[in-house]
Structure 1
């Protein structure tokens, strides 16, 4: 692959990796804000409403940042990868249009939500938050359906080198779109909830041990407990949808699964390989072990199920085998969360005083970063696992790449834009938190 194309792939990967952080926060905060506001209304407890009001300010800021970040991604798609839209614009144009309409719903009700605190009946105000959730979720689905279409193109007939008989609804609501959406959303919710819980845990950890259970931190502890409960539910849902995704990949994106699991040959009783590094000659080097029949069981609900191997796909159409290492890292992080999240509730029930110690608070704190890493690795597996295709089976990454001589300029402009956006966002959130603390005498709840 040409070095310029490779650099552009890295640029796009960095951009998406940065953007997804705003996405997952922007999708989760509306749910949490709505939840806490409703709790405050039902319990007639102003503290919950205060938390919702504070979070809504950060939510608005991250929505703005997400729009800017998403616009940069859109520019990259059109300027750096025009071949994708040139080939499939007729099919994926509608989801992009729907994403705009969904954003208008989100933005309209976000503005209403922010401007009507204390000016309308509490339940009416809360209903505005539901519409923010609807808008953001529809927006996420529309964009996810575009990525799903790139992974498994559908909704058209390909006749004599041209797209004919376009059915945009079939493409937008394909099996791939639904599977990808229902698996990604719980992951977003999980990681965002852990990040917010972690911020409160770090805040408590900065206080002296004797002050960590004071009235100043009473609401902080309650927020952490609620967010860890939310994260636990999302972790379970992620596991369920991961199983669905694995079975989907085995049937519809078999080469991606084969590369991820280093399954070189089509076979029954296919093992699950943990560790090791795959080579193109079909060998696995380095420390690793195999669980006999486990891949067949996961893919087909039976150890006797046949699982397609890499041997079915020509070598020049196979994904890079380092996706297996990425998957191993991801699953290691998943297993860490599998211990940390239930571990929190075990400690809460049996040794609650341990929660006040810095090591435990720091573990809660880092869990959010682990969650984000899992989301990032998941998207890396999705994108790298599709290579060498930009649109699987139709447009290679090299064919999708721009022929413009100005591409070098983009390589400098887009990273600079993201660095500036990051620091501007960090500064704005810091100012928001400082203003809230000064208003409430040093507390956030």
Structure 2
């Protein structure tokens, strides 16, 4: 499941965000009538189609895995949190229809209606992501039912969907999707500019993607703060594992880096900022923050994995925030920086950082919830399938996802190369 989600989250985030990049370029084409924006729009629309297809395949595999790997979980949880999944299916169908209209609507629809269909692709894709996260947030903050003598009674699907965690998780995930995809797309176009290929084309594309990425990177710490305070209130064990916070104390220090030792309940080689964890969790420098010592050991998450994943996520997020600040200085104050090679090289280096942070963040969410699949209600060990031979399905699904990754990489490489050649020949023809 972890392997499948690790692939699908990349496909789905690109599918959620790229339509907005595409629609932005399309808007500039309609307003300015500069052919380069039309070229960018059509190039990105093909990328949207590629990731829509791969996202659909990888998402379908995940739906099979829910039934195959977690039958006991689905037996009890399905009727409770099934609503966001059914609504996600509706959003997906609308997205598919709108994408068909967009791809085949050139010179057939009114220009602004055609642009609107592209916006619908983005909005429904984003809505699909929010609905799936709502289902996941229910696993972290179960509500909408009464658990009595092992029975799930008085089910309220709306209350389950709009649980206490859905807003903070959905907000953090959506912003992360714009950060990761924005930096990845900007990095690819920055590389093409450095190579001197189709500079006018890639400059426009880079500017659009970089603006989305840097604005989102500046908003991400705010959404992260909302998420952290929510986790501190609902899942103190997860917060303690994230921070390697072993001992309950007032005025708790924020731990940066370090190697936790669960045997001795200590953290080595860490930088500790006094009282900052208490403030970040509660807005009070002297507030008490629960440590792992206040939680039964059988309910402890894997501290090492959760702590390292959290540190990676925050560290990469801060690196992208710093690059965003530099980029805004270049746009507003230091115009000479905008076209400098060193700035473009920084964006190239940042290409994978967003997705690495994204994977680390989901590791924190899922591993930090352990040993619960439904927090405080059902343990993961009680939900997993008892059937033997499950390793063979793992080999099959692994082959599917690796094949998807290879195919997508090949298609994108061919698309970028083809766009470059077409744009070069078009430019040469105009010059002659």
The normalised TM-score by structure 2 is 0.94
Instruction: After superposition, give the CA deviation of every residue in 1:194-217 in whole Å (9 maximum; x if it has no partner).
Output: 11111111112223xxxx7xxx41
Instruction: After superposition, give the CA deviation of every residue in 1:211-230 in whole Å (9 maximum; x if it has no partner).
Output: x7xxx412322332332222
Distance of 2:175 and 2:47 partners within structure 1? 21
- Aligned with residue 310 of structure 1, among 292, 304, 326: 292
Pairwise mapping of residues 142-291 of structure 1 onto structure 2 (< 5 A)?
A: 142-207=131-196, 216-281=198-263, 283-291=265-273
**Structure 1 unmatched runs, 5+:** 1-11
Distance of 1:236 and 1:135 partners within structure 2? 24
Pairwise mapping of residues 20-419 of structure 1 onto structure 2 (< 5 A)?
A: 20-207=9-196, 216-281=198-263, 283-322=265-304, 323-347=306-330, 349-350=333-334, 352=336, 355-357=339-341, 359-419=342-402
Distance of 2:97 and 2:406 partners within structure 1? 27
RMSD: 1.9
Distance of 2:421 and 2:195 partners within structure 1? 18
Asked if 2 retains the 8 angstrom alpha-carbon contact of 1:264 and 1:282, the reply is no
Match of 2:430 in 1: none
Distance of 2:339 and 2:38 partners within structure 1? 26
Distance of 2:415 and 2:205 partners within structure 1? 19
Distance of 2:23 and 2:330 partners within structure 1? 28
Bigger Cα displacement from structure 2, 60-69 vs 121-130 = 121-130
Distance of 2:73 and 2:425 partners within structure 1? 51
Asked if 2 retains the 8 angstrom alpha-carbon contact of 1:318 and 1:388, the reply is yes
Q: Does the residue aligned with 2:269 lie in a helix, a strand or coil? A: strand
- Superposition deviation, residue 19 in structure 1: 0.9
Instruction: After superposition, give the CA deviation of every residue in 1:113-164 in whole Å (9 maximum; x if it has no partner).
Output: 1111121111111111121122112211111111111111111011111000
Distance of 1:352 and 1:151 partners within structure 2? 48
Q: Does the residue aligned with 2:272 lie in a helix, a strand or coil? A: strand
- Superposition deviation, residue 400 in structure 1: 1.5
Bigger Cα displacement from structure 2, 222-231 vs 365-374 = 222-231
Change (3 A) 1:234 1:354: closer
Asked if 1 retains the 8 angstrom alpha-carbon contact of 2:192 and 2:199, the reply is no
Bigger Cα displacement from structure 2, 334-343 vs 368-377 = 334-343
Q: Does the residue aligned with 2:143 lie in a helix, a strand or coil? A: coil
- Superposition deviation, residue 28 in structure 1: 0.6
Match of 1:3 in 2: none
Change (3 A) 1:296 1:443: farther
Instruction: After superposition, give the CA deviation of every residue in 1:245-286 in whole Å (9 maximum; x if it has no partner).
Output: 111111111110011112223322111111222223453242
- Superposition deviation, residue 442 in structure 1: 5.5
- Superposition deviation, residue 354 in structure 1: 7.9
- Superposition deviation, residue 430 in structure 1: 2.8
Bigger Cα displacement from structure 2, 298-307 vs 347-356 = 347-356
Q: Does the residue aligned with 1:368 lie in a helix, a strand or coil? A: coil
- Superposition deviation, residue 387 in structure 1: 0.8
Q: Does the residue aligned with 1:277 lie in a helix, a strand or coil? A: strand
Distance of 1:76 and 1:244 partners within structure 2? 31
The normalised TM-score by structure 1 is 0.91
Distance of 2:245 and 2:405 partners within structure 1? 40
Q: Does the residue aligned with 2:165 lie in a helix, a strand or coil? A: helix
Instruction: After superposition, give the CA deviation of every residue in 1:55-101 in whole Å (9 maximum; x if it has no partner).
Output: 01110110000010111111222111222212211112222111111
Runs of 4+ in 1 over 6 A off after TM superposition: none
Asked if 2 retains the 8 angstrom alpha-carbon contact of 1:347 and 1:355, the reply is no
Change (3 A) 1:177 1:365: same
Distance of 2:276 and 2:264 partners within structure 1? 19
